[in-house]
Amino acid sequence: MVSWRDWLHDAARQLGAAGIEDASAEGRFLFTGVLGLSRSQVIADPDRKLDEASLAAVNKALERRVSRVPLSQILGATPFWTLELLVTPDVLSPRADTETIVEAALNDVDTARPVRILDIATGSGAIALALLTEMQSATAVATDISRAALDIAAINAGRTGLSERIELVCTSWADGIAGRFDLVVSNPPYIASSIIETLEPEVRDHEPRLALDGGPDGLAPYRHLFSEARRLLAPGGTGVFEIGYDQREAVLRLAQEAGARDADCVKDLGGRSRAIVFAFS
Ligand SMILES: C[S@@+](CC[C@H](N)C(=O)[O-])C[C@H]1O[C@@H](n2cnc3c(N)ncnc32)[C@H](O)[C@@H]1O
């Protein structure tokens, strides 16, 4: 029978050989995630043997990870902000960097007010749901062009107890959305089409192309987003969009061309420009 220690050792070797960075940590996440164990349980009992069913389950997960399926898709969940969100191949796995958008939005609104939020291109629902957990009186409209992504967002809204405060709409950007919003947020696809083939296999082969491809220069979505924000932001409202680390100047220019004022970029924890914050009035 295989001990926990031996399995972890072999998993780290296989993951490393597959080109995965930090193979030991990945093996441990896989092991604890699949078996529902804490890290301290594993550290405390390394000589414990795997029963047959557990061994089959962790081996199957390891095989998928070695073929570069993202950990979040194997485990079916990923942490975002204070939430644990369902993730499938139909949605982009929410990234820690995207929490910068949540933070920037919270800095700019009175969270006690009944804020109206529009999250364009919501995917798993990550940004809208994180904002709603921080604003008890807020409501959100969240759009996506992918019906399959919205199905996942609906499950995440249910799991986080926020279904009553979010409306999910299948549309392109904000087509057909009316009314005024205090916050318009978005993390659109912003990778230049030609770059996609050079990305890590986890992203290139397993995340939805629709969630990545920002057109020839990666900026196509912003051209829609700024004009939609101008139409839909309430007086005094704030827009916050995620941007690529190298898009600061180009996106600031697009914001200016659209008539935005006070546009500025916010950095993520790694010190890279990650969000543009702007207003129109
Ligand atoms: C980068 S993902 C972001 C998902 C989520 N907001 C997050 O931060 O994790 C971009 C999303 O844009 C959606 N999308 C792509 N084109 C769209 C369009 N024309 N209208 C609305 N959503 C679109 C994709 O389906 C995907 O869910």
pLDDT tens per residue across span 233-245: 999 999 999 999 9
Prediction pTM value: 0.96
Q: Which of 80-84, 108-112, 145-149, 232-236 has the lowest mean pLDDT?
A: 108-112
Domains of the chain: 4-67 (1.10.8), 86-279 (3.40.50.150)
How much is the pLDDT for 157?
98
Cα–Cα distances in Å, from 51 out to 2, 42, 48, 179, 192? 8, 15, 9, 57, 47
Please indicate whether residue 93, judged by its CB atom, sits closer than 6 Å to ligand 1.
no
Model confidence pLDDT, tens digit, residues 23-71? 999 999 999 999 999 999 999 999 999 999 999 999 999 999 999 999 9
Q: Number of H helices and number of E strands within the chain?
A: 11, 9
Kindly report the protein residue whose alpha carbon is nearest to atom 8 of ligand 1. Answer: 187
The mean pLDDT of the chain is: 97
pLDDT more than 90, % of the chain: 98
Please indicate whether residue 173, judged by its CB atom, sits closer than 6 Å to ligand 1.
yes
Q: Are strands 139-144 and 166-170 parallel, antiparallel or unpaired?
A: parallel
Sign of the alpha-carbon dihedral angle for 169, 156, 245, 214: negative
Cα–Cα distances in Å, from 150 out to 70, 80, 131, 141, 167? 20, 17, 17, 12, 10
CA distance 131 to 140: 9
How much is the pLDDT for 281?
76
How much is the pLDDT for 224?
96
CA of 121 to the centre of ligand 1 (A): 4
Kindly report the protein residue whose alpha carbon is nearest to atom 12 of ligand 1. Answer: 121
CA atoms within 13 A on the CB side of 15: 26
Closest atom of ligand 1 to 95 CA is: 9
CA distance 218 to 213: 7
CA distance 117 to 49: 50
CA distance 92 to 6: 33
- Please tell me the chain's helix, strand, coil percentages from 3-state DSSP, rounded to the nearest 5: 45, 20, 35
φ, ψ at 55 (rounded to 5°): -60, -45
Question: Cβ(235)–Cβ(97) under 8 Å?
Answer: no
CA atoms within 13 A on the CB side of 176: 10
Please indicate whether residue 126, judged by its CB atom, sits closer than 6 Å to ligand 1.
yes
Start-end of H helices in the chain? 4-17, 23-35, 39-44, 52-66, 71-75, 99-107, 126-134, 147-159, 201-206, 220-232, 248-257
CA of 215 to the centre of ligand 1 (A): 13
3-state secondary structure of 119: strand
Model confidence pLDDT, tens digit, residues 158-217? 999 999 999 999 999 999 999 999 999 999 999 999 999 999 999 999 999 999 999 999
Ligand 1 mutation target, pool 118, 119, 187, most atoms within 8 A of CB: 187
- Largest Cα separation within the chain, whole Å, is 68
How much is the pLDDT for 1?
87
Kindly report the protein residue whose alpha carbon is nearest to atom 7 of ligand 1. Answer: 94
